Amino acid sequence: MQTTRRLWLSQCVGIVALADIAAAQQHAHEAVQSSTPPPFRTLDPATAAEIDAITSQIVPSTDGPGAREAGVIYFIDRALSTFDVDKREAYRTGMAAVQKKRQELFPGSTKIAALTNEQQIQLVQGIEATDFFELLRTHTLYGFLGNPSYGGNRDHIGWKLIGFEDRMVFQPPFGYYDGEQK
């Protein structure tokens, strides 16, 4: 077993309800099919824009598409309306604390989304040690790299970045060194 992952796994508990997953997948399909962005189910658009500003710092869109283009915010919205309903409160209090931090760092500012890129980076540095940031990071990376049927990882943006091919069957050689061996 792989230990650090286990530590992380031990901290996250999700509700498994097949109906919920089916609902999430249904919404994801709707999202993919329509050209206009799908409506949010749990988040209000203003909060969604604020969360999106932070997740876009976790995986920014520099040198190619990032969390925003992958639709991470839609994944988070689905998660909070299905298997992670019990994390809504953490988002509510977590975002309130982030807004407070923004006020502290940038008096007179009104929104995270309206901060400059440098200011946003500074803000994330100010919250990166919190449990809420860990939750955001977890959701962002699952949304960026998880199965697209949950609404994130659109067009396999995340998988393309890391070099993961989504296939059922692979033939050896798989990599450079086992290829060299043949």
Partner 1 sequence: MSATFRPSDVVDFLVIGAGAAGGVMAKELSTAGFRVVVLEQGPYLTEKDYRHDEIRYTYQAGLTNDTKVQPITYRKNESEPAKLAKAIMYGRQVGGGSVHFTANYWRFHESDFEERSQFGEVPGAGLADWPIKYADLEPYYTKAEYDLGISGLGGANPFEGPRSKPYPLPPMPVKSSGVLFDRATKKLGLHPYPAPMAILSQPYQGRAACVNCGFCEYFGCEVRAKSSTLVSVIPVAEKTGKCEIRPNSYVRKIETDVQGRATGAVYFDANRREIFQRAKAVVVCANGAETARLLLISKSKRFPDGLANSSGLVGKYLMWDTGGLAMGLFEHPLNEYKGIQVTRVIHDYYKADPKRGFYGGAGLDARFNYYPANFALQGMPPDAPKWGAEYKKMLSTYFTHTMTVLSHSSSLPQLRNSISLDTDVKDSWGLPAMRVTFDFHPDDVATLKWALAKQLEILEAAGAKKTWASGTAVEESMPSVHLMGTCRMGNDPKQSVVDRYNRAHDVPNLLIVDGSSFVTAARQQPTATIQALAYRGADFAIQAAKKA
Over the Cα atoms of the chain, what is R_g?
18
Q: Give the shortest CB-89-to-partner 1 separation in angstroms.
A: 16
Contact criterion met (CB below 8 Å) for 67 and 154: no
* 159 HSE (CA, 13 A, CB side): 12
d(CA 118, CA 99): 16
Which of these ranges, 7-15, 29-37, 87-95, 97-105, lies near partner 1 under the rule CB under 8 A?
A: 7-15
36 lies in the site for partner 1, by CB under 8 A = no
Site string for partner 1, 150-169 (x = CB under 8 A): x-------xx-xxxxxxxxx
Nearer to partner 1, 91 or 150 (CB): 150
Kindly state whether residue 176 participates in binding partner 1, applying the rule CB under 8 A.
Answer: yes
CA 71 – CA 24 distance, rounded (Å): 14
Backbone angles phi, psi at 60, to 5 degrees: -75, 170
Give yes or no for a contact between 16 and 97, defined as CB atoms under 8 angstroms apart: no
Q: Does 128 bind partner 1 (CB under 8 A)?
A: yes
Query: Binding of partner 1 at residue 149 (CB under 8 A)?
Result: yes
Q: Which residues bind partner 1 (CB under 8 A)?
A: 1-10, 12-16, 21, 57-60, 62-63, 66, 83, 121, 124, 128, 137-138, 141-142, 144-147, 149-150, 158-159, 161-181
